[in-house]
Structure 1
Amino acid sequence: MRNAAVTPEGDRIRWVELPGQEPSRVYVHGLGATSPAYFAQVAVDPLLAGRRSLLIDLLGHGLSDRPTDFDYSLESHADALAEALTAAGVIGAELIAHSMGGSVAVVLAARHPHLVARLVLVDANLDPVPPRPGALGSSGIAAYSEEEFLAGGWEEVRDRAGEHWWSTMRLAGREALHRSAVRLARGTVPTVRALLLDLKIPRTFLLPEADGPLPGAGTLEAAGVHVVAIPECGHNIMLDNPEAFARAASAALAD
């Protein structure tokens, strides 16, 4: 495990690092998750192994510190991640990023372009979503005020999330989880989708085949984003169908 201070107060991001060749490959988890738990299997798949790989936990999640004075916006997550990658000596990395982590990766590439050479987005959030009480994911968490969430709303989220997601969500700071969800649901200005369209690096978007066509896929493809549907999986593509994920990610990074 490695770590780096990423805020003026000394809060640290931590990651599990696998040795290998450069350029580095960085794996970024989604909301309430942790990269080692979600990406370890595919990171050592023969199709993806051999690169220096950083399975990194965003601030407030997993192995990393959980400051309560951090705003956990997508921009702040991206800037903190940039600090960690810089401290690790990473430049021109290949990012494989899931869900909220994909949104952070797009913002990172837009704000710190020297750090990112390629993007593989795994069912990432591209657009704002309205808060919806009782919903799964960021929109359901964002429907609570922070006070409501800390006072007991997190228990309702726990019960909706189920055993698998809660096993990593429980590691996140509760302020971090709520603020990350609120800011993810709110999105960025310009939107994450607009930022992605404007990037000039190789970009691939993986989504579950069962979800049907990705909204706006034609515009993404016209801008050079390769959209790939993966069979027999849900939102957690790398866990549900690791073999197909490894094939698709390897092809995206080799193209």
Structure 2
Amino acid sequence: MNSFAIDDRGNVLRYLDLYSGTNSCVPLLLVHGLGCASSSDYPLVVGSDSYSKRRSLLIDLMGAGFSDKPEDGKYDSDTQANVLSNLVASERFTQVNIFGHSAGAFIALKLAKCLPIPVGSVILCAPGLNDYGKAMLSEITSMTEAQFATVGFPQLLAQLKAAGGNDAWLGSFSVASPHAIYQWAKSALDDNAENWLEDFARLSSNKGVILPDTAASGEISQFEQAGCAVELVANTEHMMAYDNPDGLALAISNMLERGA
């Protein structure tokens, strides 16, 4: 696993850098959703026979997965996007593609806007917050960060485990920093309340959105009207990387090969 020191205190962002020596295509940065980790979500996707095998950086955001989790760290979406921008600069990339899932779509969008190099394609997967997500994040942020870290976080883990059907998410969620969960939840609610789709539509990059094939026609049309190509993945819900990794791999590859 690769590492990138984000500051002079030795705090480290970690990521998997795959296919770097086998494909000269523009690299793809994969940004996971809240409580997730790219090292957990995307190995089956980029390892699929349906994937284009381009250079792929599976990034665990600070506070998540294998990356460091300083208790006094800053984990809002702007800070996370800035860390990724510094990573891109350190790699001396001249162009990138960006993928962002769920609340990670906000970070992907902010990264695309702040990078000084061309961004070929921006692909958002189940972007934004649905009603379930907004309710959960509102519950998280109804208390103070200290309260959530000591009481709310273990209670939420217990609730998710008791509810069932969250096994894929619980692994990465349980090892995430509660401080990161709290701060990202707060900024995700703010990001979702803004008209982020207008920002997305204004990007000069190729734009794509990946949705479950059960998505409502109104949801599909709003993205098409914003100038986005739309791919639907069969037999999936929100966690597409686990529900149908081959289908998600094909959708990503199709968008990149035709320029989203």
Output the TM-score relative to the length of structure 1: 0.88
In the alignment, structure 1 residue 151 sits paired with structure 2 residue 150: yes
Unmatched 5+ stretches in structure 2: 162-166
Q: C-alpha displacement at 1:98, in angstroms? A: 1.2
Which residue in 2 is equivalent to 1:13? 13
Instruction: Pick closer, same or farther for the CA change 1:191–1:59 going to 2, 3 Å.
Output: farther
Q: 2:199 aligns with which of 195, 202, 207?
A: 195
Deviation at 1:47, TM superposition (A): 2.9
The one-letter code sitting in structure 2 at the alignment partner of 1:241 is: N
Segment of structure 1 superposing worse, 234-243 or 68-77 = 68-77
Counterparts of 1:173 and 1:42, CA distance in 2 = 25
Match of 2:238 among 232, 235, 239: 235
Give the corresponding residue for 2:76: 73
CA distance in 2, matches of 1:188, 1:67: 26
Structure 2 residue corresponding to 1:95, chosen from 86, 94, 98: 98
Where does residue 89 of structure 2 map in the other structure?
86
Contact kept in structure 1, 2:27 and 2:55, CA below 8 Å: yes
Structure 2 counterpart of 1:208, which letter? P
1:251 maps onto 2:254 in alignment: yes
Q: Give the Cα separation in 2 of the matches to 1:128 and 1:5.
A: 36
Distance 1:52 1:228, change over 3 A: closer
- In structure 2, how many angstroms separate the alpha carbons of the residues matched to 1:211 and 1:157? 28
Please name the residue that 1:160 is paired with: 159
1:80 partner SS: helix
**Aligned residue in 1 for 2:164:** none
Aligned equivalents of 1:144, 1:61: Cα separation in 2: 21
How many residue pairs end up in the alignment? 250
What SS does the aligned partner of 1:247 have? Answer: helix
Unaligned runs of 5+ residues in structure 1 are: none
Opposite residue 146 of structure 1, the aligned amino acid is E
Cα distance between partner residues in 2 of 1:235 and 1:188: 17
Question: 2: CA distance between counterparts of 1:130 and 1:172?
Answer: 17
Q: Which 10-residue stretch deviates more, 240-249 or 185-194?
A: 185-194
What is the aligned-residue RMSD (CA, Å)? 2.4
2:37 is aligned with 1:34? yes
In 2, the alpha carbon distance for the partners of 1:167 and 1:105 equals 23
Distance in 1, Cα, partners of 2:79 & 2:7: 10
- Of residues 162-171 and 217-226 in structure 1, the stretch that sits farther from structure 2 once superposed is 217-226
**Which residue pairs with 2:175 in the alignment?**
171
Tell me which of 114, 117, 120 is aligned to 2:117.
114
Cα shift at 1:219: 4.2
TM-score (norm 2): 0.86
Between the aligned partners of 1:212 and 1:74, the Cα distance in structure 2 is: 28
